[in-house]
């Protein structure tokens, strides 16, 4: 009997009778992390990692039916042993491990192998079948270490201060915003947009410590934030709020900023390749560490990455999913937040 | 090279010309003089020839990274720039090399005659001593365009801001005859190697698009009407046996058009004339597309001269034998121009024809006919008009032909280059041919950045073929494309060729059922 199958609603566990990060409403959804393309509305029941619970409830409603597990805490669902392992993507992000009659499938969700100052570091899990993302599945993607990024970004802020400019970072409100906070902690006061502030509150209320920030209210005083740091969701690029910030130097933080053409496309003052996804070497390491006999490659460069895996002797298949691969807009952070 | 690398980073990130100028000025304030001279040389087409073939560089990278060729090419097609792809694919450097820009360039010049093995040793050592951004600069120094949007004009404006010297004079200086080893930075700026009195241009007089009904312009007889041409607006100066050609973008383009220089040099007298540089073959004006082949070439080969010969249609005269004529009326200037051209002239130089007409209502038909001989429409100039600086409303009007349009569906998409390398910006379009589709045009631009982003996302989701730079997509997205002309063509599968196709708008209100058919497209040929 097969353990999983790929359906229109998402990845389905046949004996367990549940879905992994489904795209359409189902009875039982096992969720890898809180981003909107993985954690959607309308499911009857949710299962996630402990640190994701507050985030998912914040986004989908306090009244949803949801339970959570610690990392590596097994739960038996219809004979299938389900457990979560750190994915290093955002707070509470998990790889989902399924074991049934000795056969193990791991669904990576989104992950990064490199450690940051905030999330539980990625832990490789041995399995028979591995379903991996491939957002940055090209060998040109090679991230700097967190320390290198910290130096680079803090230097930029200090340089802006010398030029009397306010440093504005654009990054999605769940994940990137908190990561930027951790990279910028201590260099100057950090002001955050309402959407980010809400998430920060949800996260800290569930007992996770975050760097100190101040809410940027719509009627903010220009003098108060001059030379300070502001973090906004990407949808606010070009907005009135951004234009009101005095002498703003704007930076986008996303893995896509690794390529010059992308940095120049957005018309900002700087682009930092800060990604919560694995780079090329990270993807390869992760796949090899699973020792999987079969790999399914999803969202991103699935054609390239699966072809390469096959060439180096790892059986790999492309898998079409509806997970986003655009770091800038993946949350669907649209007008809701600009309003 | 750190300073130069930082300069490039500062320039490439911004699309604001003023920010670019500011970064250049800051660089010029601190860089060694030799580096400044090389920077100017690099951005004015005076760079040394490529010492290492790009294919060799590619093969070394594949050897170092052990990547298969297809993956190298896939990376290249995603990044859109070879020098950058190489810089990103290489492993992190083990050493640190810091040398000034001019030392790198001089070493590269010396590398040119060396053997491939020696070249390899040098390049690999450099790669292993430079961070990704500096490595990219190094690769660009070997060959390739920086694509950072620094035109000669931007450079000149920065130098003008730095030195207070007139920008046009600086333009002449940097275009002039010099090499980084033959002149000092000071002397270059001061123009000791040129005679600016001879080359000094006048600002162009420009026209507004016609926004009135013709009868509202008054009496027909008050107006001089000419055809409008789509080439390079140019000002040709002949003073003291020296010839200079300035483009409207205030660049000196003399060297690009040797046949014009020769034709002008034969004329008697000193003068400054205004007109249009056009590709002209067998007395017929060719398309701007053809003329483009002649632009920004380092060497104008004999073959190119034969393939795309140019001519100059003269509109106006601004100076004759040292007398400034700009305060004279259009009518008087035209008379002086005609007198000047009574001498024997090369047929490359033609006076722009003044159209005879009695009634305003004759002009509309003439305007629409203009397309058939590659004219863009008509120019209406008041006979009393002076040659103004820039635009002055009410004196000169341009009245262009309306473009033709059809609705088409996108079938292929390809990523752009440079700033556009992350997005699908180049599209191929088709119309219906019974129950099949047939390609009619390729076009890019015309969409907003936001629309391009949206289309790119759609392409990512709806690509049928995934390898290489071109994506075959489901025929779903409908666009209205505009073009200047249409003709039967044996070279095209569809049997028609469009002139200057470009995207007019994205018809999100239409589906593939609503697009034009090849019959309706061909019907346009007979109608025009």
Structural domains in chain A plus CATH codes: 4-141+276-329 (3.60.15.10), 146-272 (3.40.50.10890)
Q: Would an 8 Å CB–CB cutoff place A280 in contact with chain B?
A: no
Residue B211 is predicted with a pLDDT of: 87
Whether residue B424 contacts residue A262, with contact meaning beta carbons closer than 8 Å, is answered with no
Across the interface, whether the CB atoms of A139 and B71 are under 8 A apart is answered yes
Residue A320 is predicted with a pLDDT of: 78
Q: Would an 8 Å CB–CB cutoff place A24 in contact with chain B?
A: no
Please list every residue in chain A whose beta carbon sits closer than 8 Å to the beta carbon of residue B88: 140-142, 258-259
Q: What are phi and psi of B527, to 5 degrees?
A: -75, -20
Residue B121 is predicted with a pLDDT of: 97
What is the block-wise mean pLDDT of chain A (339 residues), using blocks of 10 residues? 88 97 96 95 97 95 96 97 98 97 96 94 97 96 96 95 94 94 96 96 93 94 93 89 90 92 80 96 98 94 94 93 58 31
- Residue among B74, B80, B422 minimizing CB distance to A256: B422
Longest dimension (CA), chain A: 66
User: Of A144, A97, A133, nearest to A283 (Cα)?
Assistant: A133
Across the interface, whether the CB atoms of A264 and B419 are under 8 A apart is answered yes
Across the interface, whether the CB atoms of B15 and A260 are under 8 A apart is answered no
User: Of B374, B271, B263, B375, nearest to B311 (Cα)?
Assistant: B263
Spell out the domain ranges in chain B.
2-143, 205-400, 404-527
Across the interface, whether the CB atoms of B65 and A139 are under 8 A apart is answered yes
Across the interface, whether the CB atoms of A139 and B67 are under 8 A apart is answered yes
The 10 Å CB-count burial string (b at 16+, else e) for A124-159 is: bbebbbbbbbbbbbbbbbbbbebeebbeebbebbee
Across the interface, whether the CB atoms of B88 and A142 are under 8 A apart is answered yes
Structure tokens, B137: 């600069």
Q: Would an 8 Å CB–CB cutoff place B449 in contact with chain A?
A: yes
Size of interface A-B (CB pairs under 8 A): 74
Helices (H), B179-270: 185-190, 196-199, 258-265
Q: Rounded CA gap, A112 and A146, in Å?
A: 12
Across the interface, whether the CB atoms of B418 and A304 are under 8 A apart is answered no
The C-alpha of A206 sits at a distance from chain B's nearest C-alpha, in angstroms, of 36
Please list every residue in chain B whose beta carbon sits closer than 8 Å to the beta carbon of residue A256: 422
Residue A337 is predicted with a pLDDT of: 29
**Residue B420: closest C-alpha in chain A:** A261
Residue B65 is predicted with a pLDDT of: 96
DSSP class of residue B420?
G
The C-alpha of B43 sits at a distance from chain A's nearest C-alpha, in angstroms, of 19
User: Of B348, B343, B321, B320, nearest to B332 (Cα)?
Assistant: B320
Whether residue B205 contacts residue B284, with contact meaning beta carbons closer than 8 Å, is answered with no
Whether residue B180 contacts residue B38, with contact meaning beta carbons closer than 8 Å, is answered with yes
CATH superfamily of B404-527: Nucleic acid-binding proteins (2.40.50.140)
Does the domain made of B2-143 have the CATH classification 1.10.3260.10?
A: yes
The C-alpha of A313 sits at a distance from chain B's nearest C-alpha, in angstroms, of 14
CATH superfamily of B205-400: DNA ligase/mRNA capping enzyme (3.30.470.30)
* CA of residue A294 relative to chain centroid, distance: 25
Residue B528 is predicted with a pLDDT of: 61
- Work out the average pLDDT over B458-467: 81
Q: Would an 8 Å CB–CB cutoff place A264 in contact with chain B?
A: yes
Across the interface, whether the CB atoms of B457 and A326 are under 8 A apart is answered yes
Across the interface, whether the CB atoms of A311 and B68 are under 8 A apart is answered yes
Q: Would an 8 Å CB–CB cutoff place B423 in contact with chain A?
A: yes
Q: Rounded CA gap, B451 and B491, in Å?
A: 32
- Work out the average pLDDT over B417-438: 84
Q: Is the dihedral of CA B453, B458, B461, B465 positive or negative?
A: negative
Whether residue A177 contacts residue A192, with contact meaning beta carbons closer than 8 Å, is answered with yes
Burial (CB < 10 A; 0-12, 13-18, 19+), residue A259, is buried
Q: Would an 8 Å CB–CB cutoff place A219 in contact with chain B?
A: no
Please list every residue in chain B whose beta carbon sits closer than 8 Å to the beta carbon of residue A260: 12, 81, 84, 136, 421
- Residue among A140, A267, A326 minimizing CB distance to B78: A140
Residue B486 is predicted with a pLDDT of: 84
The C-alpha of A288 sits at a distance from chain B's nearest C-alpha, in angstroms, of 17
- Residue among A138, A256, A260 minimizing CB distance to B84: A260
- Residue among A140, A262, A269 minimizing CB distance to B88: A140
**Residue B149: closest C-alpha in chain A:** A264
Across the interface, whether the CB atoms of B422 and A262 are under 8 A apart is answered yes
Q: Would an 8 Å CB–CB cutoff place B502 in contact with chain A?
A: no
- Residue among A256, A261, A308 minimizing CB distance to B418: A261
Q: Is the pLDDT of residue B260 over 90?
A: yes
Residue A338 is predicted with a pLDDT of: 27
Q: Which residue in B69, B75, B76 has the most chain A C-beta atoms within 10 A of its own C-beta, making it the best mutation to test that interface? A: B75
Across the interface, whether the CB atoms of B81 and A304 are under 8 A apart is answered no
**Residue B85: closest C-alpha in chain A:** A140
Q: Would an 8 Å CB–CB cutoff place A268 in contact with chain B?
A: yes
Residue B75 is predicted with a pLDDT of: 94
Please list every residue in chain A whose beta carbon sits closer than 8 Å to the beta carbon of residue B150: none
Whether residue B493 contacts residue B503, with contact meaning beta carbons closer than 8 Å, is answered with no
Structure tokens, A68: 């959570």
Residue A312 is predicted with a pLDDT of: 96
The C-alpha of A103 sits at a distance from chain B's nearest C-alpha, in angstroms, of 33
Other beta carbons within 10 Å of A78? 13
Q: Which residue in A251, A264, A300 has the most chain B C-beta atoms within 10 A of its own C-beta, making it the best mutation to test that interface? A: A264
**Residue B13: closest C-alpha in chain A:** A264
Q: Which residue in B88, B449, B457 has the most chain A C-beta atoms within 10 A of its own C-beta, making it the best mutation to test that interface? A: B88
Active-site residue, selected from the candidate residues B228, B238, B400, B415 = B228
Structure tokens, B234: 């140019």
DSSP class of residue A256?
G
Q: Tell me the per-residue pLDDT of B52-89, one tens digit each, with 9 for 90 and over.
A: 999 999 999 999 999 999 999 999 988 988 999 999 99
Residue B417 is predicted with a pLDDT of: 66
User: Of A317, A135, A261, nearest to B147 (Cα)?
Assistant: A261
Q: Rounded CA gap, A158 and A170, in Å?
A: 18
- In three state form, how does the secondary structure of B466-520 look? CCCCEEEECCCCEEEEEECEEEECCCCCCCEEEECCEEEEECCCCCHHHCCEHHH
Q: Is the pLDDT of residue B418 over 70?
A: no
Mean pLDDT, all residues of chain B = 91
Q: Tell me the per-residue pLDDT of B331-375, one tens digit each, with 9 for 90 and over.
A: 999 999 999 999 999 999 999 999 999 999 999 889 988 888 889
- Residue among B14, B85, B467 minimizing CB distance to A140: B85
Q: Would an 8 Å CB–CB cutoff place A152 in contact with chain B?
A: no
Q: Is the pLDDT of residue B224 over 50?
A: yes
Q: Would an 8 Å CB–CB cutoff place A249 in contact with chain B?
A: no
Residue A330 is predicted with a pLDDT of: 42
Q: Which residue in B78, B135, B463 has the most chain A C-beta atoms within 10 A of its own C-beta, making it the best mutation to test that interface? A: B78
B228 is catalytic: yes
């Amino acid at each position: 009997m097969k353990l999983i199958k790929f359906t229109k609603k998402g990845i389905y566990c046949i004996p367990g009778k549940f879905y992994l990060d489904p795209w359409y409403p189902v009875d039982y959804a096992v969720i890898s992390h809180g981003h909107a393309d993985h954690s959607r509305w309308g499911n009857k029941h949710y299962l996630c990692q402990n640190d994701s619970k507050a985030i998912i409830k914040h986004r989908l409603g306090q009244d949803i039916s949801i339970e959570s597990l610690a990392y590596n805490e097994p739960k038996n669902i219809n004979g299938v042993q389900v457990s979560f392992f750190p994915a290093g993507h955002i707070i509470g992000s998990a790889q989902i491990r399924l074991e049934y009659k000795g056969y193990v499938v791991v669904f990576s969700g989104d992950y990064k192998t490199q450690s940051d100052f905030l999330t539980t570091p990625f832990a490789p899990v041995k399995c028979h079948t591995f379903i991996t993302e491939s957002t940055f599945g090209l060998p040109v993607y090679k991230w700097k270490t967190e320390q290198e990024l910290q130096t680079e970004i803090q230097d930029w802020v200090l340089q802006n201060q010398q030029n009397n400019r306010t440093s504005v970072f654009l990054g999605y409100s769940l994940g990137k915003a908190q990561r930027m906070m951790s990279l910028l902690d201590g260099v100057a006061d950090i002001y955050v947009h309402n959407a980010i502030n809400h998430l920060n509150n949800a996260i800290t209320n569930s007992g996770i410590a975050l760097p100190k920030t101040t809410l940027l209210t719509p009627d903010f005083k220009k003098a108060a934030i001059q030379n300070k740091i502001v973090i906004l969701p990407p949808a606010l690029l070009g907005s009135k709020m951004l234009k009101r910030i005095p002498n703003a130097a704007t930076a986008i933080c996303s893995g896509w900023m690794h390529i010059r053409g992308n940095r120049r496309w957005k018309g900002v003052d700087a682009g930092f390749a800060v990604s919560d996804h694995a780079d090329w070497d990270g993807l390869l390491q992760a796949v090899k560490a699973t020792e999987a006999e079969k790999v399914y490659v999803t969202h991103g460069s699935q054609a390239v990455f699966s072809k390469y895996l096959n060439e180096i002797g790892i059986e790999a298949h492309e898998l079409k999913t509806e997970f986003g691969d655009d770091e800038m807009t993946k949350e669907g952070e649209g007008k809701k937040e600009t309003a | 090279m750190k300073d130069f690398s930082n300069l490039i980073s500062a320039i490439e990130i911004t699309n604001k010309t003023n920010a670019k100028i500011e970064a250049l000025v800051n660089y010029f304030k601190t860089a060694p003089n030799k580096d400044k001279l090389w920077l100017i040389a690099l951005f004015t087409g005076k760079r040394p020839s490529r010492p290492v073939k790009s294919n060799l560089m590619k093969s070394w990278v594949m050897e170092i990274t052990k990547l298969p060729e297809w993956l190298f090419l896939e990376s290249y097609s995603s990044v859109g720039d070879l020098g950058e792809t190489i810089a990103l694919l290489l492993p992190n450097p083990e050493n640190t090399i810091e040398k000034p820009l001019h030392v790198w360039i001089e070493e590269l010049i010396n590398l040119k005659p060396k053997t491939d093995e020696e070249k390899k040793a040098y390049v690999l050592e450099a790669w292993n001593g430079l961070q990704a951004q500096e490595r990219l600069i190094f690769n660009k120094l070997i060959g390739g365009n920086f694509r950072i949007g620094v035109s000669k004009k931007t450079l000149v404006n920065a130098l003008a801001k730095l030195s207070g010297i007139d920008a046009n004079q600086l333009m002449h200086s940097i275009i002039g005859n010099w090499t980084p080893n033959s002149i000092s930075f000071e002397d270059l700026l001061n123009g000791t190697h040129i005679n600016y009195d001879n080359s000094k241009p006048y600002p162009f007089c420009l026209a507004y698009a016609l926004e009135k009904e013709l009868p509202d312009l008054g009496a027909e007889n008050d107006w001089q009407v000419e055809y409008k041409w789509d080439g390079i607006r140019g000002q040709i100066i002949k003073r003291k046996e020296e010839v200079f050609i300035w483009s409207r973008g205030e660049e000196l383009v003399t060297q690009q058009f040797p046949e014009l220089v020769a034709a002008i040099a034969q004329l008697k007298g000193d003068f400054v004339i205004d007109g249009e540089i056009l590709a002209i073959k067998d007395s017929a004006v060719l398309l701007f597309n053809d003329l483009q082949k002649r632009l920004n070439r380092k060497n104008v080969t004999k073959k190119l001269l034969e393939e795309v010969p140019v001519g100059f249609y003269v509109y106006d005269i601004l100076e004759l034998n040292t007398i400034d004529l700009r305060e004279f009326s259009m009518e008087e200037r035209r008379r002086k121009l005609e007198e000047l051209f009574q001498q024997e002239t090369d047929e490359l130089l033609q006076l722009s024809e003044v159209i005879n007409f009695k009634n305003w209502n004759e002009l509309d038909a003439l305007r629409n006919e203009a397309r058939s001989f590659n004219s863009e429409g008509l120019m209406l100039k008041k006979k009393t008009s002076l040659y103004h600086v820039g635009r002055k409303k009410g004196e000169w009007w341009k009245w262009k032909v309306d473009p033709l349009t059809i609705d088409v569906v996108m079938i292929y998409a390809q990523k752009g280059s440079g700033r556009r390398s992350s997005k699908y910006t180049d599209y191929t379009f088709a119309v219906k041919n019974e129950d099949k589709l047939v390609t009619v045009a390729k076009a890019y631009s015309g969409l907003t950045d936001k629309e391009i982003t949206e289309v790119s996302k759609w392409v990512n989701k709806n690509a049928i073929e995934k390898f290489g730079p071109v994506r075959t997509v489901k025929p779903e997205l409908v666009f209205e494309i505009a073009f200047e002309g249409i003709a039967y063509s044996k070279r095209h599968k569809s049997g028609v060729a469009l002139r200057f196709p470009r995207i007019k708008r994205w018809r999100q209100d239409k589906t593939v059922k609503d697009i034009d058919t090849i019959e309706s497209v061909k019907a346009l040929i007979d109608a025009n």
